[in-house]
Structure 1
């Protein structure tokens, strides 16, 4: 990773849009990956930096880029419970049903970690609740496993 791309990654984590804009202007690659495969967009989203995420998306960041485990920015937002970030990513064409290396989806992450606002949002946006992970478990199976009564109720409709 070049020094300029490292600057971009640090600025994305911190939400420093001025540094982001300057790095992009100087030719930083908005789709560069660090040693774990994280793009600046994944890092901005995971660290709840919506302005940085929007700036990256507006400058060509791949909304569906995945880290080396297959995790996308939308999965990170679902895991963390950031509805505003999830909405932004979906508005920019995020693949709502993308599955990571173990078959998990954003809806599964939201369900497993009790992010029920995200469960509702993803279902409202058409997330597929019939997807199975690599163990053959559905999102409803995961909700039951976690004792997530609200998600069970949302998924039953």
Structure 2
């Protein structure tokens, strides 16, 4: 590469660095304000024209603002962030969606809020665990009913054990109500995938 091209490449790379640093800094400040419930700061940052900071992620954990408010059980803040365009299907560094985290944290009231915002009840984390699998593992009847009503697939298997929510329920005999709920859950029909025919 010629010296001029090296200089030009270095110039282009460094000229974008301040903008990137400012963006990361703004995202960090936003997530810190959400963590600390500094409402005025959050409102000011979200009110900036063209701002898409509502979906900022923590660089170490991959968490977004929704993950933060779900961990503290704040339904009001959850609704507010969703109204501001927060991605209800954002995954953290372990692949956990806000819905999966709500189930994990025992936040039953957050499930309908998230599904109303188009949270997919069948998105699994990096281990393939879906919200329904986690609810079955918790033996939480209310959550299981809500998730099944929201379209959760009882036959979608995880990656680690290759087991579905239905299989986990059948294997665990400690709660016959959970087992019965999953036995009675209808099978989901898989949509046909269209593609080239040979």
TM-score, L = length of structure 1: 0.88
Displacement of 1:31 in angstroms is: 0.8
- Aligned partner (choices 79, 85, 102) of residue 54 of structure 1: 79
| Distance in 2 separating the partners of 1:126 and 1:108 | 13
> How big is the shift at 1:136?
1.1
Residue of structure 2 in register with 1:150 after alignment: 177
Distance in 2 (alpha carbons) for counterparts of 1:97 and 1:137: 14
User: For residue 108 of structure 2, what is the aligned residue in structure 1?
Assistant: 83
Partner of 1:5: 27
Residue correspondence of structure 1 range 11-22 to structure 2 within 5 A: 11-13=33-35, 15=37, 17-22=39-44
Residues in 1 aligned to 2:146 and 2:77: alpha-carbon distance in whole angstroms? 22
User: Which residue, out of 29, 34, 39, partners 2:53?
Assistant: 29
| Separation in 1, partners of 2:178, 2:26 | 43
**Do the aligned partners of residues 4 and 154 (structure 1) sit closer, same or farther apart at CA in structure 2, a change above 3 Å counting?**
same
What's the counterpart of residue 166 of structure 2? 140
- Which structure has more RCO (C-alpha within 8 Å, separation ≥ 6)? 1
Cα distance in 2 for partners of 1:85, 1:111 equals 17
Alpha carbons of structure 1 residues 18 and 116: separation in structure 2 relative to 1, 3 Å: farther
SS of the residue 1:88 aligns to: helix
Q: Per the alignment, do residues 130 and 47 of structure 1 end up closer, same or farther by CA in structure 2, a change over 3 Å counting?
A: same
User: How many residue pairs are counted as aligned between the two chains?
Assistant: 157
Greater Rg over alpha carbons, structure: 2
Q: Does 1:95 align with 2:120?
A: yes
1:48, distance to aligned residue in structure 2 (A)? 0.9
Report the Cα offset of residue 116 of structure 1: 2.1
Unaligned 5+ runs, structure 1: none
Structure 2 residue runs without a partner (length 5+): 1-22, 185-198
Match of 1:44 among 63, 69, 72: 69
Indicate how the Cα distance of structure 1 residues 32 and 146 shifts in structure 2: closer, same or farther if over 3 A, else same: farther
